[in-house]
Structure 1
Amino acid sequence: MSARLELEKVIARHTAQVGATQKLPSEWVMSDIELGAARRAAVLILFGAAGEAALEPHSRAGDLDVLFVERAATLRKHAGQIAFPGGGIDQEDSSVADAALREAWEETGVDTSGIEVLGTLGETELPVSNFLVTPVIGWWHTESKVYPADPAESAGVFRAPVAHLLEPRNRLTGVVQRGNQKFKSPAFDFEDRIIWGFTAIVLDRLFNELGWTQPWNNRRELRMA
């Protein structure tokens, strides 16, 4: 089955469960979310072509890559971490997808006319910054140059092949120590960058739902910030 069809099936399952907010794994939750005060946000999981050829309807998982941003070190929250492009939903945004596309353009300069939105995944709680985040799945049919368009937000922009992210030797568990408590999340190693925390949890869950995940050693741990 093509990667696109597999993505569409996962999106359809999430759409059927609309209104069901997803929680982060208990081993990663450092505090409870304040639902009454929580803001809504959107992130773009943008799948492009890992090789020379453009994406096709029959492209497989190994043909894809994913767009990431490296957050600026000066940011108040999640500084220096790897993330999907995205941010808070503004009143001017006509939809969750529009918010994700706007944020992606602001952060990476991507030409959003070359992106087809396939749909959204379930809204996920992010207690550490009190957000409810909706992942938007994008299909990058006509690619454009990307770069850190706003240095105040992004220190870098890069693309990681899905095949590399799925490779078991590039999988590990990120560990954060807070006093006597230890918090863990799945993580991905890519060219001396570690994708961990919320972004890695969302990506790991998506890969699992797609049936793309290969067995990996979750006992291989790396201490994070």
Structure 2
Amino acid sequence: MMEELIPKLKARLKSGLPGDVAHQKMTPRLINGNRVRMKNSQTPRKGAVLVLLYQDADRWHFPLIQRPSYEGVHSGQMALPGGRMEPEDQNLIDTALRETHEEIGVPAANVEVLGQLSEFMVTASNHLVLPVVGYSPHKPSFTPDPREVAEVIRAPLDQLLNKDHLKEKEIEASGGFRLHSPYFELNDKVVWGATAMMLSEFVHILEDLT
């Protein structure tokens, strides 16, 4: 799988994506079992994140970031590097690459874009997010921006694919909401919510390759 993953993944991303079927598997629910229903009257902002694969010590990894504590809906949460589309971005792939460079110091020139996953609506922050999948042929050197990143987590891909790292628990979200949520435990970090739902689709894609 080590040598064949990148060309196989690139080819697979050009075909149909599982989308909402995969997202639903990691959807948090209220403690009473009901779905969380949130609506925004404003047009969502566009954004993008990057799933950046690289090899280290004969294992595939990808970086996650932990957000600093701040007054906002994603305070302290685990996330993929990324952010809002800006006027200078030609497209959302540019957004993902620019934001990754700004947040964790990986230059766009060091990333081969393999494809993209399904757009995902992050209702809590009213963003329509495109997950981009990329590959770095060399182990990246991460330089986190302390204003946006509290920590860079080098998540092993085999943990993401291991069912033993797929768990559930009660989580307190912003605003004091208590949710029962599936999550991925990656390097002892709890990855839940929108990030887990996007990664769930990535897991489905990878499982198609085996």
TM-score, normalised with respect to structure 2: 0.81
2:64, 2:79 within 8 Å by CA — same for their partners in 1?
Answer: yes
Equivalence for 2:167 = 172
1:153 maps to 2:148: yes
CA distance in structure 2 between the aligned counterparts of 1:159 and 1:5, rounded to whole angstroms: 22
Q: Which runs of 5+ in 1 are unaligned?
A: 53-62, 215-225
Pairing partner for 2:90 from 88, 94, 98: 94
Matches within 5 A, 1:71-82: 71-82=67-78
Equivalence for 1:10 = 12
1:48 maps to 2:35: no
Q: SS at 2:128's partner residue?
A: strand
Deviation at 1:96, TM superposition (A): 0.8
Deviation at 1:80, TM superposition (A): 0.8
1:30 maps to 2:42: no
C-alpha spacing 1:115/1:151, structure 2 compared with 1 (3 Å): same
Identity %: 31
Residue identity matched to 2:119: E
Q: SS at 1:205's partner residue?
A: helix
Equivalence for 2:64 = 68
Deviation at 1:103, TM superposition (A): 0.4
C-alpha spacing 1:6/1:174, structure 2 compared with 1 (3 Å): farther
1:137 maps to 2:143: no
TM-score, normalised with respect to structure 1: 0.76
C-alpha spacing 1:116/1:33, structure 2 compared with 1 (3 Å): farther
Q: SS at 1:199's partner residue?
A: helix
Equivalence for 2:101 = 105
1:42, 1:100 within 8 Å by CA — same for their partners in 2?
Answer: yes
Q: SS at 1:99's partner residue?
A: helix
CA distance in structure 1 between the aligned counterparts of 2:41 and 2:130, rounded to whole angstroms: 15
Q: SS at 2:61's partner residue?
A: strand
CA distance in structure 1 between the aligned counterparts of 2:20 and 2:208, rounded to whole angstroms: 21
Q: Deviations over 1:116-168 (max 9, x none)?
A: 011111211111111110000011113331032x2121101121111122223
Q: Which runs of 5+ in 2 are unaligned?
A: 30-34
CA distance in structure 2 between the aligned counterparts of 1:35 and 1:138, rounded to whole angstroms: 33
2:50, 2:132 within 8 Å by CA — same for their partners in 1?
Answer: yes
Residue identity matched to 1:13: S
C-alpha spacing 1:10/1:182, structure 2 compared with 1 (3 Å): farther
CA distance in structure 1 between the aligned counterparts of 2:15 and 2:209, rounded to whole angstroms: 18
CA RMSD of aligned residues (A): 2.9
Residue identity matched to 1:40: K
CA distance in structure 1 between the aligned counterparts of 2:134 and 2:41, rounded to whole angstroms: 28
1:115, 1:138 within 8 Å by CA — same for their partners in 2?
Answer: yes
CA distance in structure 1 between the aligned counterparts of 2:132 and 2:71, rounded to whole angstroms: 23
Pairing partner for 2:115 from 114, 119, 143: 119
Deviation at 1:182, TM superposition (A): 6.3
2:155, 2:186 within 8 Å by CA — same for their partners in 1?
Answer: yes
Equivalence for 2:32 = none
